Structure 1
Amino acid sequence: MAVTTPSESPQLLFRKRRVSDWDQAVFTAKVALACCLAVAAGYLALSPSWPVALTGALLLGATYTHMVELQHQCLHHSAFQAARLHRWVGVPLGIPLLVTYSHYRVRHLQHHRYLGTPQDSEFFGFDNRKPITPGLLVRGLLDYSRLVMVLRDVARSWTGRWSYDIGQIAERRRREIVAEYRLIGLVIAAAVCAAALGLAEPLVRLWLLPLAFAVPLHFLVEVPEHLMCETSTRDVLRNTRSIRGSWLTTWFTNGNNLHIEHHAAMVVPINRLRERHQEAERRAVHVERSYGAFFRKLVAVAWQNRKEPTGTVSDGAAHD
């Protein structure tokens, strides 16, 4: 949530906008393209040639990552004019990466509300407030523990023991989350049955190996959002980063690179955020020209911190 006075707020950045017919058509086309890419990558992943198959698995993992970014837009109800469509589309978009739509939505909206405060807690658990070290980045990149936590939540949902652990939520939201974890449990059970029936190799090629690729890819998409920004302020012009990027990175991340613009007005359709980027460049503190520029800076800060005594490592904010 951005905290600025009306006289200080760049009007274009904070202006709300309803989902238009065009915005809805753009999002629908993105989902259709993602499905086509998944089919094409899956075809490659099933190739008898291992180099081709590995390339297909990597592309499939990238597609699963992209689908979670599409799901992110559904969380904000900025994809469709009819609110109910967001859950109907958002739930299946997250299944390949084992991301439950309603749980992600509750936690993510809390992140928007509490960004810049100690109550901030994003669904994907990389803590932007910790000092940046090579070890911390590697642990974030290879954070497969989240998948184990999903299995735990599936078990708790099926046994009636699941509860929300960060604040209070409405009973209806709790039921939706439990239902979605149970759905993921059914998908996993179906996969186990398929493996037992002799389909283990297609399962590995089409899901498990792509999932292994998708976890670090998703980390690389998410980590620039607030890292090396100012974590003790609620001013979105200081606590969030935007990356100008190319058309390819903007498409792949579904506009996640324009993160200042998104936090300033989170219900604005993602395809409209580019119109606000020049205002972000003029007003905000943390704006990069490319992902390469950001990651070079991140690696430099982590490399510098590797030799610092505990407690004196830099968070990199001074470098932005």
Structure 2
Amino acid sequence: MSATAQLTPRPKTVQDLKSRPSSVVFSLKLAIYFIVLAHGVFFTFSEFLIIRIVGVLLIGVMFAHGVELQHQALHYHGFKSKRWNVLFGIIVGIPMLVSFSGYQDSHLKHHRMLGTKENTEFFDYGDQYGFNSFQGIRSWFIRLFMPNHYGKFFQIAIKSVCGVSIRNVNEGVAKGVRREHLWMLAFIAALTAISVALHTWVIAWVWLAPLMLVAAPVHALIEMPEHYRCDLTSTDPLLNTRTIVSNAFMTWLTNGNNYHVEHHMMPALSIDRLQDLHASIEPSIRYHHLTYREFYWAVLRDRIVPRSVDTADTDAPDAETPVEVLSHAPEQTA
């Protein structure tokens, strides 16, 4: 064997991957989130309209990024402490009106049920997986601006205030959902009070406009590729889920959501290690794109098709067979 061949890095095997989260890395992610968010808020107080618009864009993008951080926390992949995952998972979800407990309960069911008729998702984008052949303006509006999500929020918020029971979840989850919806209502009330007291449009500039005009579309576009027009009759992540390699910026913005096949194949693997797993299973992924631009160009041309793969030459782990790394995952309870 040549010296060059010996120096060539080999993809990590399943046994090489570690699942323990890094509190330091997640703390840095949160620090960046809050710093950029603070700058966005500061910009919205500028006298210049263009700087205010930049502020709205920064805030909205961070709101969407926060939900991706919340996703990491609900898997307990952020901090080593479950309590800290829950606390910061709640905080980063408040701006987009996402209940940590409700999202966690729904999302973990989604992992178990994907590929079956029992599969559901927390966010309702209308034509969830793109099965309708005609994607009209109404369909895109529902997907990008998420009116169903806001409607669901206010329904549960009213139930939480009135003490009405929340269906389809156990009492422990329901308690968390009620608590978080009351916190989100308090957040809205506080912004409203500040706006009234200062006789300004603070609530519009730092929350409503970023949420509805930026965060919702960005979030929807981040999540749309996950299972869009994949083979949802199969329980195999290599067939029912999509990976987009993209670049370092998009991997940061989506918080690893672009490696979605890898996440569904090994949900107990830390988000920060999904790229390592990708090197081992990439040849077997049927729905695979190099960039988000490539994916959305295929969507617009209605040319979403699986690629041909050779499964004989890969050491990809069986998604339905327990592997060692999964046994180290923290207990996932709501």
TM over 0.5: yes
1:164 is aligned, of 164, 167, 170, to 167
- Separation in 1 of the partners of 2:26 and 2:156? 30
Aligned to 2:197: 197
Give runs of aligned pairs for residues 276-295 of structure 1, distance below 5 A: 276-295=277-296
Q: Is the 8 A contact 1:129 1:231 kept in 2?
A: no
5+ residue gaps, structure 2, are 1-10, 309-334
Deviation of 1:287 after TM superposition, in Å, equals: 1.0
Give the number of equivalent residue pairs.
293
Q: Is the 8 A contact 2:194 2:202 kept in 1?
A: no
SS in 1 for 2:70: helix
Q: Is the 8 A contact 1:16 1:267 kept in 2?
A: no
Give runs of aligned pairs for residues 1-320 of structure 1, distance below 5 A: 12=13, 17-20=18-21, 23-126=22-125, 127-128=128-129, 130-135=131-136, 136-165=139-168, 169-212=169-212, 213-301=214-302, 316-317=304-305
Q: Is the 8 A contact 1:13 1:265 kept in 2?
A: no
Q: Is the 8 A contact 1:153 1:162 kept in 2?
A: no
- Separation in 1 of the partners of 2:253 and 2:41? 18
Distance of aligned partners of 1:45 and 1:285 in 2 relative to their CA distance in 1, 3 Å threshold: same
Deviation of 1:265 after TM superposition, in Å, equals: 1.0
- Separation in 2 of the partners of 1:222 and 1:188? 25
Alignment RMSD (CA, Å) = 2.1
Partner deviation per Cα, 1:237-267 (whole Å, 9 max, x = no partner): 0000001010000000000000011111112
Q: Is the 8 A contact 1:15 1:265 kept in 2?
A: no
Deviation of 1:129 after TM superposition, in Å, equals: 5.7
5+ residue gaps, structure 1, are 1-9, 305-315
Q: Is the 8 A contact 1:157 1:178 kept in 2?
A: yes
SS in 2 for 1:53: helix
Q: Is 111-120 or 131-140 further displaced after alignment? A: 131-140
- Separation in 2 of the partners of 1:26 and 1:197? 39
Q: Which amino acid aligns with 1:247?
A: A
Q: Is the 8 A contact 1:65 1:214 kept in 2?
A: yes
SS in 2 for 1:287: strand
- Separation in 2 of the partners of 1:287 and 1:42? 37
- Separation in 2 of the partners of 1:264 and 1:318? 18
Deviation of 1:81 after TM superposition, in Å, equals: 1.3
Distance of aligned partners of 1:95 and 1:238 in 2 relative to their CA distance in 1, 3 Å threshold: same
Q: Is the 8 A contact 2:61 2:218 kept in 1?
A: yes
Q: Which amino acid aligns with 1:151?
A: F
Q: Is the 8 A contact 2:37 2:62 kept in 1?
A: yes
- Separation in 1 of the partners of 2:208 and 2:15? 41
Distance of aligned partners of 1:183 and 1:273 in 2 relative to their CA distance in 1, 3 Å threshold: same
Q: Is the 8 A contact 1:240 1:259 kept in 2?
A: yes
Percent identity over the alignment is: 29
- Separation in 2 of the partners of 1:26 and 1:97? 23
Q: Is 102-111 or 134-143 further displaced after alignment? A: 134-143
Q: Is the 8 A contact 1:14 1:265 kept in 2?
A: no
Aligned to 1:3: none
- Separation in 1 of the partners of 2:165 and 2:194? 27
Deviation of 1:189 after TM superposition, in Å, equals: 1.9
Deviation of 1:145 after TM superposition, in Å, equals: 3.4
- Separation in 1 of the partners of 2:24 and 2:71? 17
- Separation in 1 of the partners of 2:155 and 2:118? 24
Q: Is the 8 A contact 2:115 2:233 kept in 1?
A: yes
Distance of aligned partners of 1:85 and 1:185 in 2 relative to their CA distance in 1, 3 Å threshold: same
Partner deviation per Cα, 1:244-302 (whole Å, 9 max, x = no partner): 0100000000000000111111121111111111223211111110000000001111x
SS in 2 for 1:242: strand
Q: Which amino acid aligns with 1:264?
A: M
Q: Which amino acid aligns with 1:214?
A: A
Q: Which amino acid aligns with 2:191?
A: A
Distance of aligned partners of 1:59 and 1:32 in 2 relative to their CA distance in 1, 3 Å threshold: same
SS in 2 for 1:204: helix
Q: Is the 8 A contact 1:229 1:239 kept in 2?
A: yes
SS in 1 for 2:264: helix
